[in-house]
Amino acid sequence: MNKNILYRNIPKVDVLLENPQIVKLIEKYHRDVIVDIIREEINKLRTFIKENDDISLIEEKTSQLVENITKSTEKIYSYNLRKVINGSGTILHTNLGRAIISKKHANYLSEVVTNYSNLEYNLEEGKRGERYSHFEKLICKITGAEAAMAVNNNAAAVMLVLSSMAKEKEVIVSRGELVEIGGKFRIPDVMKSSNAHLVEVGTTNKTHLEDYSDAITENTGALLKVHTSNFKILGFTESVSLEELSKLSKEKDIPIIEDIGSGVLIDLSKYGLKYEPTVQDSIKAGVDVVSFSGDKLLGGPQAGIIVGKKKYIDKMKKNPLTRAFRIDKFTATVLEMIFHEYLNEENAIKNIPVLSLITKDIKEIEESAKKLYEKLSNLKDAADIKVEDTLSQIGGGSLPTEKIKSKCISIVPKNISTTSLEEQLRLNENPVVARISDDKLIIDMRCILEDEIEILAEKIINILK
Ligand SMILES: *Cc1c(COP(=O)(O)O)cnc(C)c1O
C-alpha cells in the first residue's frame, strides 16, 4: 500500500501553529513546549500510519491530531500526583501512598517547610544540632529504648543496622523468617547488600533455641529476628521467643536485631484486632536494636525508625550510609508530631488517621454508606444499588490474615458494564479507586472521608445518569 498520501495529509507544524485551538493553547501556556508537543504528536501519528493498514482508522487518528495536542498540553501542565478517593477498604494501601496524615499535622508541616527551621540547629546553644534530636527523646520515652534515629524507610534501616553491627560477620536467622516483603525487599538480598553473611538455621516451620546456639561461632555478629509481616505459617510450627533468644544473646554476648515491620506502639487487641507485638515488647524482652516503618501501623510519614541501645545507635549515626539514607525536614517534622500523639493513647487514636480508620465504629461507617446511598436514590433506573456488609483489610503487609467488618455501597449498573463504571471512576480528575467483586462495583466506606461523600455521589451520578 502506498501511504505517501496519508503522510502528506498530516498538517505541518507551521499550519498547526495557526490553528485557532492551538493559538489559544500558546496564549495560555508556553510556545516552545507546545511546539515540542506538536512534534511528538506528529511523530506518534507517523508511527501509527507505519504500523497500521486500515485507512479509515488512520484518517480518524489524523483528524484527532489537534485534540491530542490539546490533551497532551493540558496533561503536561497539570499535576499528575494527586489525591485519590480510596474506596478499596485497604487502610495502608501501598499503591495509594500507605499512611495518610491529618490536616492538623499537614498544616504545621507547611509552616515549618515554608520557613527556615531549626532542623539541624541547636537553639539553646546557638550551634549545630542533630536532625534526630527533635524526636529522639520522645521515641525513647514511648518505646523504653535508650536511643533512636530514623532513615528514609525500613528497608534502609535494616541495611544500616546490619552494615553497622554485622559487616563481614555472620548473622543468624531462622529459615521461617527469610521473607520477601515486596518491592524487592528480601532478607537474603538485604543481607548481601550490607556485607553481612547470612547463616540460616532451623526449617521453614520450626526453629528451636539450639538451632541458634549451635550456629554461633566466633565470627557471629548478630542474631536477627524478622517479623513475617505479610504471611502466616499455620499448623505444626515453632519459633523461638524473644525472651529465650535474649537469654542466649546475653550468655554469648551477641546482640539481637529485630526487624519488626509495622511498628505498633499500642495494644490493638483493645480495639478488636489480634494482639500484635509492640515495639515496647521487643525492647522489654531485651532486643538490642529494633527497626520499623514510619508509614505502616505507626501511621506517620515514610521512614525507617531505629531504636535500641545507645552504643549501637551511636555507631549507626556515624555510618556513612546514614548520610545517604537520611530523612529530610518534611519527614522529621511529621515524625515528631506523630510521636507526640503517642504520649497519650487517646490522642493517638483520635489524631492519627491510620489508627482512627482501623478503630472506626461500624455504625459510623454504616452512616456514611447510608448517606451515599440516599444521595444516589435517583439512580434506581440506572443501577441496582445497595448498602452491604464487607470486610476491610489493614494492608501494607500488616496483620495479613486480619479482616475488619465494614460497610460498602455495591453498584450493578444497568446500562453500562461494571468494568466501565470502575474505569470511569478511576479515570477522573478526582480519581476513585474501587474494586469489582462478583460483577458488582464495591465501594468500601471505611476510608472514605466525610467531605468525599458528596464528591463521590456527584461522580457516580454523572456517570450513570
Ligand atoms: C514493610 C517491611 C519492611 C520494609 O519497610 P519499608 O518502610 O517499606 O521500607 C521491612 N521489613 C518488614 C518485616 C516489613 O514488614
HEC letters along 347-401: HHHHHCHHHHHHCCCHHHHHHHHHHHHHHCHHHCCCEEEEEEEEEEEEECCEEEE
Q: Say whether both 174 and 307 belong to one domain.
A: yes
Regarding the beta carbon of 155 and ligand 1, being less than 6 Å apart is answered yes
How buried is residue 300: exposed, middle or buried, by Cβ count under 10 Å (0-12/13-18/19+)? buried
Residues 433-452 have a mean pLDDT of 96
The pLDDT, as a whole number, for residue 387 is 98
Is the pLDDT confidence value at 428 over 90? no
Which cell is 133 given?
534530636
Residues 403-429 have a mean pLDDT of 96
The pLDDT, as a whole number, for residue 402 is 83
- What does residue 356 show for φ and ψ, rounded to 5 degrees? -65, -40
Give the residue, 233 or 417, on which the prediction is more confident.
417
Q: Say whether both 394 and 426 belong to one domain.
A: yes
Residue 405: CATH number of its domain:
3.90.1150.180
Regarding the beta carbon of 331 and ligand 1, being less than 6 Å apart is answered no
CA of 154 from ligand 1 middle (Å) equals 5
The mean pLDDT of the chain is 95
Using DSSP's 3-state secondary structure scheme, residue 11 falls into: coil
Among protein residues, the one with the nearest Cα to ligand 1's atom 5 is 154
* pLDDT tens per residue, range 11-49: 999 999 999 999 999 999 999 999 999 999 999 999 999
Q: Say whether both 240 and 379 belong to one domain.
A: no
Ligand 1 mutation target, pool 93, 158, 185, most atoms within 8 A of CB: 185
Q: Say whether both 408 and 297 belong to one domain.
A: no
Residue that is last in its domain, among 309, 326, 351: 351
CA of 119 from ligand 1 middle (Å) equals 26
CA of 384 from ligand 1 middle (Å) equals 41
* pLDDT tens per residue, range 172-231: 999 999 888 777 788 889 999 999 999 999 988 889 999 999 999 999 999 999 998 767
- Ligand 1 atom nearest the C-alpha of 397 is 15
Residue that is last in its domain, among 351, 374, 392: 351
Q: Say whether both 188 and 333 belong to one domain.
A: yes
Q: Say whether both 118 and 231 belong to one domain.
A: yes
- What does residue 121 show for φ and ψ, rounded to 5 degrees? -135, 125
Is the pLDDT confidence value at 399 over 90? no
Q: Say whether both 8 and 123 belong to one domain.
A: no
Is the pLDDT confidence value at 420 over 90? yes
CA of 265 from ligand 1 middle (Å) equals 16
- Ligand 1 atom nearest the C-alpha of 262 is 15
The pLDDT, as a whole number, for residue 181 is 76
Query: CB-based contacts of 269: which residues, under 8 Å, 6+ apart?
Result: 275
Asked whether residue 221 is assigned to any structural domain, the reply reads: yes
Residue that is last in its domain, among 317, 333, 351: 351
Among protein residues, the one with the nearest Cα to ligand 1's atom 6 is 154
Would the pTM of this model clear 0.85, i.e. be above it?
A: yes
**Beta-carbon count within 10 A of 120 CB:** 14
The pLDDT, as a whole number, for residue 383 is 97
Query: CB-based contacts of 376: which residues, under 8 Å, 6+ apart?
Result: 383, 385, 409, 457, 460, 461
Q: Say whether both 249 and 372 belong to one domain.
A: no
Among protein residues, the one with the nearest Cα to ligand 1's atom 15 is 261
Asked whether residue 98 is assigned to any structural domain, the reply reads: no
Using DSSP's 3-state secondary structure scheme, residue 336 falls into: helix
The pLDDT, as a whole number, for residue 430 is 87
Regarding the beta carbon of 94 and ligand 1, being less than 6 Å apart is answered no
Asked whether residue 449 is assigned to any structural domain, the reply reads: yes
Domain range for 53 is 4-76
Regarding the beta carbon of 299 and ligand 1, being less than 6 Å apart is answered no
pLDDT confidence bin for 400, thresholds 50/70/90: confident
* pLDDT tens per residue, range 245-259: 999 999 999 999 999
* pLDDT tens per residue, range 58-72: 999 999 999 999 999
* pLDDT tens per residue, range 256-301: 999 999 999 999 999 989 899 999 999 999 999 999 999 999 999 9
CA of 263 from ligand 1 middle (Å) equals 10
Q: Say whether both 372 and 318 belong to one domain.
A: no
Q: Say whether both 345 and 262 belong to one domain.
A: yes
Q: Say whether both 343 and 437 belong to one domain.
A: no
Residue 331: CATH number of its domain:
3.40.640.10
Is the pLDDT confidence value at 2 over 90? no
Asked whether residue 218 is assigned to any structural domain, the reply reads: yes
Q: Say whether both 382 and 343 belong to one domain.
A: no
Greatest pairwise CA separation for the chain in angstroms: 85
| Total domains present in the chain | 3
Asked whether residue 173 is assigned to any structural domain, the reply reads: yes
* pLDDT tens per residue, range 307-366: 999 999 999 999 999 999 999 999 999 999 999 999 999 999 999 999 999 999 999 999
Regarding the beta carbon of 263 and ligand 1, being less than 6 Å apart is answered no
Looking at the chain, the whole-number percentage of residues with pLDDT higher than 70 is 100
